[in-house]
Structure 1
């Protein structure tokens, strides 16, 4: 992130304004859309950060992309960012908005990564187990990484629980590399 304080301040202003106007959920959906757009389309991020493209041209392009797809508060916010020359920070602001929204709504993000896709019933059981230990709402994200071989990796609030076969194999490999059993044979 280029300027976390700037992103935090703009996101807080947007959270406050959208809460005051009763549009918090709609603006949150728009910020989720922004995050997906910036992840899936690096050309848009390059356009936002480009010093060569003039602000009025950026505004025209962004209007073409977002008109009819985002809330009026979000559209006005994007226009304000372009007017202030802060449009390059839009992806960071959208990410920070999501963090502040989660804190405001008491939501904890949990990510589970497995070697194979899990069905919805298993994901619901895992979500209920994780939620049982806390008073927060759980937003469960599932990912697949075939390199894990088996087991799972659970990430939540800067905590990582790795119960994967890959980690077990790496632990065994480390033990053999250290050769901790040789001195006890002598």
Structure 2
């Protein structure tokens, strides 16, 4: 069996358990954090994959990567099961699979909003609400400040991209004048 099939099976089982215990939001938070920590801390994978490290220490490390004491009891039990079955080398893929399955089931859309200056929380919430109304889903925005766009904004979600930046408008005018 390959890593993808195994990871998705574990993720589906975790999602089903989370739904049954009404803790899918908490587990989603934990799995999102775990997946992010695997990316941000490359040594995590090396440490978890180390066969010389005791299972208790791996458990402690993975629970910490899921938020420590804030991690849900289901997440802790899941990590324990994964370690018991010797599947710890796949836990990053399991976390990513859970996040993907959760987003699909709950109609969560990832989006990115790039602005030249930091937006007020009210303005960011209005933009988020606009996308949610248009997509009939929940939106998770990643906000980024990029002074290079001069002004305006660039909003991306799903396959949609709206570029209302001053930089793009100036480039369009410049290209029109060159013709």
Q: Distance in 2 between matches of 1:29 and 1:46?
A: 23
Which residue of the partner structure matches residue 42 of structure 1? 42
Compute the TM-score of the two structures, normalised by the length of structure 1. 0.75
* CA RMSD, 1 decimal: 2.9
C-alpha change, 1:110 and 1:44, in structure 2 (3 Å) is: same
Which range moved further: 19-28 or 114-123?
Answer: 19-28
How far did residue 101 of structure 1 move? 1.4
Q: Distance in 1 between matches of 2:4 and 2:151?
A: 37
C-alpha change, 1:77 and 1:123, in structure 2 (3 Å) is: same
Larger radius of gyration: 1
Q: What are the residue-to-residue correspondences of 1:44-59 with 2, within 5 Å? A: 44-48=44-48, 50=49, 53-54=50-51, 57=53, 59=55
C-alpha change, 1:159 and 1:85, in structure 2 (3 Å) is: farther
Q: Which runs of 5+ in 1 are unaligned?
A: 182-186
Which residue of the partner structure matches residue 61 of structure 1? 57
Which range moved further: 9-18 or 127-136?
Answer: 127-136
Q: Deviations over 1:42-91 (max 9, x none)?
A: 2112323x3xx217x25222322326442232122223323444323322
Q: What are the residue-to-residue correspondences of 1:109-124 with 2, within 5 Å? A: 109-124=110-125
C-alpha change, 1:180 and 1:41, in structure 2 (3 Å) is: same
Number of aligned pairs? 173
C-alpha change, 1:7 and 1:160, in structure 2 (3 Å) is: farther
